[in-house]
Structures are given as structure tokens and as C-alpha cells.
Structure 1
Amino acid sequence: MTNTLVGWHIEVEFAEEGAHTAAAVLLRLPDGRELRARGDTSRHPADPEQERVGEEVATARALQALARQLLDKAHEEIDDLGAVPSYPL
């Protein structure tokens, strides 16, 4: 058995405006498809400014949305094979 190294790249971009932070993620898959998702967060006015924390929360939310899309894509591909139905969460 030969081990083949396969990698996927995820790009993350941020937009910050005042207390609001948005993250956009892009995943390019080997089959040529691209999956995109967004995540947002807002800092409470009483909290100190910490850009990194807003970026982390917004990115985590975007990655959760991306994970859902990736699971949906995988389940569709399993179901298209027709042998055994998948069981999406």
C-alpha cells in the first residue's frame, strides 16, 4: 500500500467594523468544487477591544458552517451511489 499525501487549503479573510467581525472561509476541494461560508460576531460595548478574539469566534462559526456543507456534500455523494443510504446528522 502506497501512502499518498493529500492536502486541502482553507483561506480565511476578516472584515472588522467597529465591534463587528466577519470571517469568510473558502475551501477548494480536489474535485474542483469550492465551498464558502461566513461567520460573524459582535463585541459587547463594555468589553475591551481584542481583534484576535473576534477573529477566532467569527472563524469558528464560519468553519462550523463549512463543516455542515462538507457533510451535506459527502452524504449526497454516498446517496448517489445508491447502495446504502447515508444518515446525515
Structure 2
Amino acid sequence: MATLAGWHVELEFTEDGHRTGAAALLRLGDGCEMRARGYAMRHPSDPEQLRVGEEIAGARALMDLAGQLLQKAHTEIDEVSGKHSFPIKG
């Protein structure tokens, strides 16, 4: 039987004028927590679309978390193998 693992991600958004911010919190099964932020700026001539700003800011925060996860994984690989692994950037 396969073992299931679960991660919990929380995203909170703030709107300040033309700027939307996203704060992400990731809780891993090993008790580790990672935090990241992402931002989106709306040009003053663009129509207000709060959802679009949230999507862009949220995506940027999640991309930061993805980078942190890759770094964590490669650090753990290096500790066990004694060799330097290379994260693939995507």
C-alpha cells in the first residue's frame, strides 16, 4: 500500500494601491516551514482586476517556494551522498 504525504500551503493577499502582495507559508511533513513573498504591480492605466494581481503575486510566491524546496532537497542529497548535486532550474 502506498503511503500518502500531505503538504499544507497558505496564501494571503494584500492590496495597496496598484500593488498586490502575496505571502505564502508551506508546512512540510518533516515539520519544516518555508515562507515566501510575491508581488504584482498594476499600471495606473490598467483596469482594476484584483484577481489577476492575486494570481501573479501568488504565482511568484509559489515559484520562490519551489526554489526553496529544490535547494532543501539538494542539500539533503548532498548530506547523504557526500557529493554536490545540482538543482535543475526551470
Place the TM-score, normalised by the shorter chain, in its bin: over 0.9
Provide the identity percentage: 61
Report the Cα distance in structure 2 between the residues aligned to 1:4 and 1:73, rounded to whole angstroms.
21
Secondary structure of 2:76 counterpart? helix
Residue identity matched to 1:77: E
Report the Cα distance in structure 1 between the residues aligned to 2:71 and 2:84, rounded to whole angstroms.
13
Report the Cα distance in structure 2 between the residues aligned to 1:84 and 1:40, rounded to whole angstroms.
36
Residue identity matched to 1:78: I
Residue identity matched to 2:17: G
| Structure 1 vs Structure 2 CA RMSD | 1.1
Residue segments in structure 2 that go unaligned for 5+ positions in a row: none
Aligned residue number for residue 62 of structure 2: 63
Are 1:25 and 2:24 matched, yes or no? yes
Secondary structure of 2:21 counterpart? strand
Report the Cα distance in structure 1 between the residues aligned to 2:80 and 2:3, rounded to whole angstroms.
25
Report the Cα distance in structure 2 between the residues aligned to 1:8 and 1:31, rounded to whole angstroms.
10
> Please, what TM-score do these two structures have when normalized by structure 1?
0.93
> Please, what TM-score do these two structures have when normalized by structure 2?
0.92
Residue segments in structure 1 that go unaligned for 5+ positions in a row: none
Cα deviation code 1:39-86 (max 9, x no counterpart): 001100000000000000000000010100000000000000025532
Q: Superposition pairs for residues 1-89 of structure 1, below 5 Å?
A: 2-89=1-88
Residue identity matched to 1:40: Y
